[in-house]
């Protein structure tokens, strides 16, 4: 990958996650931080001192700076739509965190604006850039799991266990899907990477632990066009867990904590062995990149390369909207008691 000159980018209101992205971006040759803005002037100054770039008085000033080619938007979900549209209309390329927006209508509007202006719009779904995801894709392509039948995922973190009324994450207009929006869209994008487009979705959500009416637990059942069935269970309010199991005719693969914790491959063996649990599990390891380092660098490097090469990013609006459609379909299925059929992404 050859990039003639680093893409000069600005960042708006970098909080905890924004600083993680900046820490990854500093090691991407194709990117250079050129400007920082935010309501907290002291924070903006500290970010500029650590990572470089100039402090701009406001977002409008950042967007008006002709030296800034792209904008990174790591802000809360409900700000993505307005901030992204403003950047696109100012002629900037945009990397926005997931989910692309709280509503499909807003996300689709962002996609249309980027297409109309010929700008790159990348979305922060870094899971498919991780070493375990690339390895799984290669194993499926090589037929190592046989015919894939079922994928089971359990994924959650006590993000809202001590939530207070007034937290933006307790407002349903900000996070309509609860853990489906915070966590699920990552795995829904990974499932699309592994299985292709989703065909039908059902599921249920629960709202009885945290304040407000945002779901704090959810279960999705997703049928893919290739025949694979996936189950996804998530929560906001209990012990952190991240487990992925793939069941194929040749065996079962279990990936724990994105491949960073002990993981296992268990071949099916002969029928007699399979009935009693199969042969003993065999440890399996996965290559880098991992979550917070190399995968973030890889997705940001892809963003820079997409700008310079005039191509779509690996994960753009289309891919992010496909993940968000699944999240919204789970809520719809819960409310209507019916399966939701999805059309394939255009």
Domain containing 335 — which CATH number?
3.30.360.10
- Least Cα distance to 260 among 151, 150, 149, 127 occurs for 127
Instruction: Answer yes or no: do 118 and 207 share one domain.
Output: no
Instruction: Answer yes or no: do 168 and 39 share one domain.
Output: no
The whole-number average pLDDT for the span 169-191 is 94
Instruction: Answer yes or no: do 302 and 277 share one domain.
Output: no
The whole-number average pLDDT for the span 223-242 is 96
CB 121 within 8 A of CB 317: yes
Residue 120 has pLDDT above 80, yes or no: yes
CB 194 within 8 A of CB 140: yes
pLDDT attached to residue 16:
95
pTM above 0.85, yes or no: yes
Helices and strands counted in the chain (H then E): 11, 15
Instruction: Answer yes or no: do 48 and 158 share one domain.
Output: no
Domain assignment of residue 212, yes or no? yes
Instruction: Answer yes or no: do 107 and 173 share one domain.
Output: no
Instruction: Answer yes or no: do 210 and 136 share one domain.
Output: yes
Instruction: Answer yes or no: do 16 and 119 share one domain.
Output: yes
- Least Cα distance to 80 among 98, 101, 94, 108 occurs for 101
CB atoms within 10 A of CB 69: 22
Considering the chain, what is the average pLDDT of its residues? 94
pLDDT attached to residue 285:
94
- Please state the separation of Cα 74 from the chain's center in Å: 12
Residue 121 has pLDDT above 80, yes or no: yes
* Structure tokens given for 315: 């994960």
Q: Strands of 207-249 (E only): list them.
A: 217-224, 229-235, 241-248
The whole-number average pLDDT for the span 61-83 is 97
Domain assignment of residue 193, yes or no? yes
Domain assignment of residue 82, yes or no? yes
Domain carrying residue 270: 128-289+324-341
139-148 burial, b for 16+ CB within 10 Å, e for fewer? bbeeebbeeb
Instruction: Answer yes or no: do 298 and 269 share one domain.
Output: no
Number of domains present in the structure of the chain: 2
* Structure tokens given for 231: 């189950």
pLDDT attached to residue 114:
98
Instruction: Answer yes or no: do 136 and 212 share one domain.
Output: yes
pLDDT attached to residue 165:
79
pLDDT band at 2; cut points 50, 70, 90: very low
Give the pLDDT confidence of 151-177 residue by residue, as tens digits: 999 999 998 888 887 888 888 899 999
The whole-number average pLDDT for the span 205-222 is 90
Instruction: Answer yes or no: do 271 and 144 share one domain.
Output: yes
Instruction: Answer yes or no: do 179 and 80 share one domain.
Output: no
Q: Whole-angstrom Cα distance, residue 117 to residue 119?
A: 5
Give the pLDDT confidence of 9-24 residue by residue, as tens digits: 999 999 999 999 999 9
CATH of the domain at 112: 3.40.50.720
Q: Whole-angstrom Cα distance, residue 252 to residue 244?
A: 10
pLDDT attached to residue 344:
53
The alpha-carbon radius of gyration of the chain (Å, integer) is 21
pLDDT attached to residue 137:
97
pLDDT band at 303; cut points 50, 70, 90: very high
């Amino acid at each position: 990958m050859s990039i003639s000159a680093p893409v000069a980018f600005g960042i708006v209101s970098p909080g905890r996650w924004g600083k993680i992205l900046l820490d990854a971006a500093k090691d991407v040759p194709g990117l250079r931080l050129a400007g920082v803005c935010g309501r907290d002037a002291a924070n903006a100054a500290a970010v500029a001192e650590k990572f470089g770039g100039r402090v701009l008085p406001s977002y409008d000033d950042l967007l008006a700076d002709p030296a800034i080619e792209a904008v990174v938007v790591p802000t809360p979900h409900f700000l993505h739509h307005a901030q992204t549209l403003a950047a696109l209309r100012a002629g900037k390329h945009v990397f926005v965190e997931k989910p692309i927006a709280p509503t499909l209508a807003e996300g689709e509007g962002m996609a249309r604006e980027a297409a109309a202006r010929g700008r790159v719009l990348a979305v922060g779904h870094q899971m498919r850039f991780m070493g375990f995801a690339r390895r799984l894709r290669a194993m499926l392509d090589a037929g190592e799991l046989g015919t894939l039948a079922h994928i089971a995922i359990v994924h959650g973190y006590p993000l809202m266990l001590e939530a207070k009324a007034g937290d933006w994450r307790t407002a349903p207009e900000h996070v309509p899907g609860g853990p489906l929006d915070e966590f699920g869209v990552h795995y829904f994008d990974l499932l699309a990477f592994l299985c292709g487009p989703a065909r039908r979705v059902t599921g249920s959500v629960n709202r009885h632990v945290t304040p407000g009416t945002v779901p704090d637990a959810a279960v999705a059942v997703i049928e893919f066009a290739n025949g694979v069935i996936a189950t996804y269970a998530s929560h906001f309010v209990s012990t952190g867990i991240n487990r992925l199991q793939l069941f194929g005719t040749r065996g079962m693969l279990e990936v724990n904590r994105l491949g960073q914790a002990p993981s296992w491959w268990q071949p099916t063996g002969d029928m007699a062995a399979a009935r009693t649990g199969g042969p003993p599990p065999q440890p399996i390891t996965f290559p880098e990149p991992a979550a917070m380092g190399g995968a973030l660098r890889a997705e940001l490097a892809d963003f820079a390369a997409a700008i310079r090469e005039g191509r779509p990013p690996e994960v753009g609006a289309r891919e992010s909207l496909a993940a968000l459609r699944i999240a919204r379909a789970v809520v719809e299925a819960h409310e209507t008691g019916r399966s939701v059929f999805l059309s394939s992404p255009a």
